[in-house]
Structure 1
Amino acid sequence: MTMLHVDLSGLNAMLHEMGDAAEAAARPVAQAASQVLYDEVKRNAQGIRQKSGNLARSIYQVYSQANSGPGHATYHVSWNQRKAPHGGLVEFGHIQRYVSFVGSDGNWYTAIRAGMRGKPKPRRGASQAVKDAYYVTLPAPKQVAAKPFVRSAASKFSAAADAAAAKLIEEIG
């Protein structure tokens, strides 16, 4: 019987070192993939007809410390709800029940019935009848189509994966 002795300590050290490098590369790799998606979301938002440009300016990417850990990193790409509260209406579409207009200041407003001026607005959870009595209704509700700018960036997932792979190779060397 022949015994073969192989010293694998060098290979083990290299794999351990590569593992540490791969773990350290998690955040730059995730950021590279996130950047591809961020750029696509920005491009999509800029392609939507704009009134003020707030939606396009509100797009962000941010590192999520709460959802990340050793060896994995998470980035969020979305729009800032405070800068562009209408982002959800654009992304998912909506039904418009009331007459709306753009004021002299460039902001959108919902038309209020003449007899209701000066009275407090209905609460968010108020009944439909209370809201209909306060605002000027359209003759028929209008479906406003969705113009997805975040969800449509999913078409760039393969490009994001390619960017992540390239960054990983660059980081590990």
Structure 2
Amino acid sequence: MSLTINANLGGIENLLDELADNAEEAARPAAQAAAQVLYDAVKLNVASIGRVTGNLDRSIYQVYSRDDSAQGRATYHVSWNHKKAPHGWLVENGHLQKYKVYLGKDGKWYTDKKAPLPSPKHVGARPFVRPAQAQFPAALDAAVAELLKRINGGPP
């Protein structure tokens, strides 16, 4: 006994093409949703350090990377602007302080290279970017939720 089925799969092919197009268009919003979770975590970490001038907090950014992205793949960077807060690396990684520092009349901190400390002082790290990596699972969840919303035809 045999059974013959004739099926027009054109509708399924169109559906799969549409799903692929939706997934490609959803890559950037999904990546941004993940970046937002990490950005929020970094901002919270900076706030927990305490505020001296606020430059570090104002320097935190998230940005879409055209160079690291491609069709169907989006990349965002979350970090701090090194020009706005050059001390960010010292805060994130710790450092050895060799000279006295002082707060100028303009409200900025300065290093007095003419006044070395009697012995160098280790200033411990107060990381704010690295601990945000603990939020990777939540960032992935946010990306998946945004991707599914957009693939299923939800509002942009």
TM-score by length of 1: 0.82
- Cα offsets for 1:116-172 (capped at 9, x unmatched): xxxxxxxxxxxxxxxxxxx22111111111111111100110000010111011101
Q: Provide, for residues 42-75 of structure 1, a one-character-per-residue CA deviation record: whole Å limited to 9, x for no partner.
A: 1111111221011001101111111111000011
Structure 1 residues not aligned, in runs of 5+: 113-134
- Cross-structure match for 1:16: 17
The 1-side partners of 2:3 and 2:96 are apart by 78
SS in 2 for 1:25: helix
* Structure index of larger Rg: 1
CA distance in 1, matches of 2:4, 2:100: 85
How far apart are residue 3 of structure 1 and its match? 5.1
2:124 maps to what in 1?
145
Query: What is aligned with 2:137?
Result: 158
Q: Distance in 2 between matches of 1:166 and 1:155?
A: 19
Number of aligned residues: 151
User: 1:18-63, CA deviations, whole angstroms, 9 ceiling, x for partnerless residues?
Assistant: 0011001111000010111011111111111221011001101111
RMSD value, Cα: 1.4
Provide the rounded CA distance (Å) in 1 between the counterparts of 2:4 and 2:29.
Answer: 42
Structure 2 distance, partners of 1:52, 1:142, is: 22
Q: Does 1:38 align with 2:39?
A: yes
Pairs within 5 Å for 1:72-151: 72-112=73-113, 135-151=114-130
Where 1:73 maps in the other structure, the secondary structure is: coil
Higher strand share: 2
Once residues 89 and 58 of structure 2 are traced to their aligned partners in structure 1, the CA distance between those partners, rounded to angstroms, is 15
1:48 paired to 2:49: yes
Give the superposition deviation at 1:9. 2.8
Distance 2:110 2:57 in 1: 21
Provide the C-alpha distance between the structure 2 equivalents of 1:32 and 1:139, rounded to a whole number of angstroms.
49
**Partner amino acid, structure 2, of 1:2:** S
Structure 2: which 5+ runs fail to align? none
